[in-house]
């Protein structure tokens, strides 16, 4: 390799390094720790990663549901103005508990978005209890099962394998 060519390669390497260096970027983002982001980081993976401490049972959830959810979702999750969360006798609809592939989705959505007028107002125990209540109303879990960070990701959802990616080449 001639000296000229090796210099050229070195210059090229430097150029690439420079393109990714902080000097070429505004660098105006402020470093933040995951600890400082903890109250924002409410997303829960299907494996249960991110689930907080706490627990709840269907019986506890029934009481909370009557107080905070019934107005929109109907008595025991039936006949409300918004999404039915359980099937009326003789009905066989795909309610959320019978449709989504992971039980963690119920916990995540209830915690971040419900009740509609006061999202994020529920304590973690209340979210576990409501999740347990809805799962039990759909006979996905037993009436005496307790939901917590250990048990929730292990719930066998009836539609666990019902989904296929429409465009697998895109991810």
Q: Which two tokens stand for residue 156?
A: 């066998």
**Is 91 among the residues that bind another protein (CB under 8 A)?**
no
Q: Cα 53 to chain center, whole Å?
A: 15
Which residue, among 85, 79, 80, has the nearest Cα to 58 in the 3D structure?
A: 85
Part in contact with another protein (CB under 8 A); list of ranges 1-9, 84-92, 98-106, 145-153:
98-106
Q: Residue 76 to residues 39, 125, 152, 169: CA-CA distances in angstroms?
A: 31, 19, 21, 42
Torsions phi, psi of 148, nearest 5? -150, -175
Kindly tell me which residue out of 3, 15, 23, 28 binds another protein, with binding defined by CB under 8 A.
28
Q: Which two tokens stand for residue 103?
A: 């039980």
The C-alpha atoms of residue 125 and residue 54 are separated, in whole angstroms, by 5
**Is 170 among the residues that bind another protein (CB under 8 A)?**
yes
**Is 142 among the residues that bind another protein (CB under 8 A)?**
no
Q: Which residue lies nearer to another protein by CB, 57 or 68?
A: 68
Binding mask 39-78 for another protein (x = CB under 8 A): -xxxxxxxx------------------------x------
Q: Which residues bind another protein (CB under 8 A)?
A: 20, 22, 25-34, 37, 40-47, 72, 81-82, 96, 99-102, 104-105, 108-109, 112-113, 116-117, 119-120, 159, 162-168, 170-171
């Amino acid at each position: 390799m001639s000296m000229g060519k090796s210099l050229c390669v070195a210059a090229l390497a430097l150029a690439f390094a420079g393109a990714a260096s902080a000097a070429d970027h505004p660098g105006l983002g402020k470093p933040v720790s995951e600890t400082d982001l903890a109250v924002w980081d409410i997303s829960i993976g299907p494996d249960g990663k991110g689930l907080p401490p706490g627990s709840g049972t269907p019986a506890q959830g029934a009481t909370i549901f009557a107080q905070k959810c019934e107005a929109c979702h109907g008595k025991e999750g039936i006949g409300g103005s918004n999404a039915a969360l359980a099937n009326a006798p003789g009905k066989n609809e795909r309610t959320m508990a019978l449709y989504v592939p992971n039980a963690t989705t119920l916990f995540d959505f209830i915690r971040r978005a419900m009740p509609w007028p006061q999202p994020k107002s529920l304590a973690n125990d209340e979210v576990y209890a409501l999740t347990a209540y809805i799962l039990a109303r759909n006979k996905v879990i037993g009436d005496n099962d307790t939901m917590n960070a250990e048990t929730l990701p292990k719930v066998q959802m009836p539609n666990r394998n019902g989904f296929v990616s429409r465009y697998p080449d895109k991810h």
